[in-house]
Structure 1
């Protein structure tokens, strides 16, 4: 078809009067080109690629049968309808025309009405053919860029199409592997019989269609790559019979990763088992001896001892108390790390804070530290009872790192649907670069500016995380010290 949308028709006839007559019939609606014999027609067909050919049968040199045979069987052009114009009417002549690929026949001299009817019908068929061909080419073009190997095998398992991605995966150019036996060239010997049996069943009765299966293929370097295949039947004129459409995903690396993941999972499970064992050792095998040491030191304190012995026993008692605290904190942190969620209940954090004040009164009195807080208000909240450990750790830390004769302030701010609890001290404060690290037990081990073992604050952070809330540290705007804060949901 030309740029102006008109179809192009080639008239091949050695008689000028016939050419003139046909041209007069067609020139109003079609672009007409002509050739006076078969030898001249063939290069014109290649160059012009007409939409339809009117071909005289009886011509000097190459007759119409010879020209039709070349165009249909040797030129490999897209479908071009050919109407043979002939005065011959025998069945043998018509049969010969069909054998060489003629699409229709018209008796000479041509009738205008009959001619236009045949041309219109064949051009409609050609448009449908061209549309299907365009759709097919678009599909092939799309398949060239999909991530999988997509190929078509004929009923003898020869490769009649493969997308570019597939040929790249195998390391070949498409030209080098088309029309070669898929099983012989690509399927590993140990799988060839299995794959062949599967394809035979698929062609015979569709057995196994749409089922995924796996087998390795050989690349150009003869290395095996494992593919996951999806097969289906395909009817295609190029096959002359049923074909097999195969789509394969290279899962070699994925399978290796899966094996590594399984191995890592086993190692992780073993690591968790060791962690549980270590936690049990902390809770029982270490805590029990520490408890005995505590009992014996208390008994020794009640006996007649010298001042030097009393000093040594005091050091043992203090060190053992730190050890017991460390063991209990480590066991609690291990328990919290294994939890994924907490049971939330209605609780009054105001009542918990007042209890904390009473619990820490003797320690604060020893350092002459004043605890300032609201002693009357209620703060109904949604929290797990373990929230008490958050208050205990934050207040204990504030007391531990506050100088004597200072003040600790506990506040509760209303933030709409949440309470914001603050614990403000007047200690040395924490540098900005270390503020996040104070909640991380593992980072704290190498922080010279951060005191303590860090397990207490790691416990605090984990409990707040399980409540799906936030925690942080700010500088005390009134001078030295820090403000530790966290949020908790209101019980509305």
Structure 2
């Protein structure tokens, strides 16, 4: 059985039997759609890509002629082939169908072979058209991204193709240009006769004389522009000249600049004679033809002496290379048709006393009205002071770099010192804690209530100092890159309860109510059992610290989409809105007076943020001054199936 072609055929007929018959003929090779009125057919074509339409003429309501006209009038469907089916066979009926845009005709009764043949022929033609259109669109896209104007003409000067750059320059759309005579639409009156002769020479095979030429064009807004064209033949497969392909660049500003330059030569010389910078002109072989009098101040030579000096007497050898390179680039630009550009370079020059002077030179090529190079126009200024300043800046930069490296070394030494100090303090502190617990627990003898409370305070302060040292140690190893995490399944509510228990003495001292609100059956998360408690100790420490006596601290944990969400809320002093973005910075404290009143090192939230991010989580704060603070932390939850 033959495979289907992939084409879709739409059959439009108010008689279901006719639709069914054509479906039988065509469905073996094509996808077939049916419509039983003109309105239904047009609606289908709005939503379904159709490759060919078989259309009955005699239908109630909108007849086949009208349907065909609408298909051909629609920009998106006008190239879809339409076969008109009619029981009528008069000449007038065919003319009416052709006027409507029909591509083929079938006369009832329909012959199967004839239908298949005509459908196959039209679909083959459509396939070729689609390929051609695709290739044309591809070529057009290349032309549109080209940096120059590109236009194709036939031998009479009729526009056959115009790229986007051309349309933008002239202010016309592509549809407005295609099919128009170039001389009539885009050339101003003074140039029409000359441009017409160009097309005449091309059509006579005399391209060489006009291969490169300039002429004026007129935009849609009646603005005159000057274009430099490069022309080549367009030939058919037999080698016959069928037109011209022209690429052009807009040289209007360049021509106007040249004209103004020539018109203002007297003013130029007058200004040059009084300028502090040296103004000069130079031939393409490196000979100075004019130098302003200020050269005497710069180099100690008169303009007449400079005119006689070869380059070797003006510039050190290593700098002559820069000049020769600039001239080589000039010739490359000239070959490419580029005339509007300048070169800026720094070079040393010899002074008459034998010393060297650093100068900055700006050189621009100047062309005459015919596009022929005339000379280089340049300005040179003394930059010795700037060079000395640059050297001073380099010296300072090197010194700053050295000092920065020293600071980095000191910073590393500081981190190592903190790390070592934390370790050194840990050992005696452990002993202090051990003996304090023995005293507190009355192992070494009974205590009265005041002594008991005092020992409890000692243990509480030990915990606070231990937490501070652990934070310093953690920051030190994080910065050194030596911290190692082990992420195992963790129940976040267990961690939170342990941390809150840690603050039981302080919360009792302030008569705080610690409220837990944990969702049942929370999913597990991956966490480091050593470092995860530090995250919440910092957060809950702040909540307890800044809460007024007798208030509440709320600790919530709940499932939030694919995350475990923890919230710690207090009714304390709050945080000014403009300070919120800074509170996670290392050692940052909002107000030094508050840090003295409430205590704190500025490390806690930095540590919390670091640990949260290591766990793939995120931390943020909601707060306003005087109303309390809520800290949010979310972690990726483990899948319950795991």
After TM superposition, the score normalised by the length of structure 1 is 0.47
Larger relative CO (CA 8 A, sep 6+): 1 or 2? 1
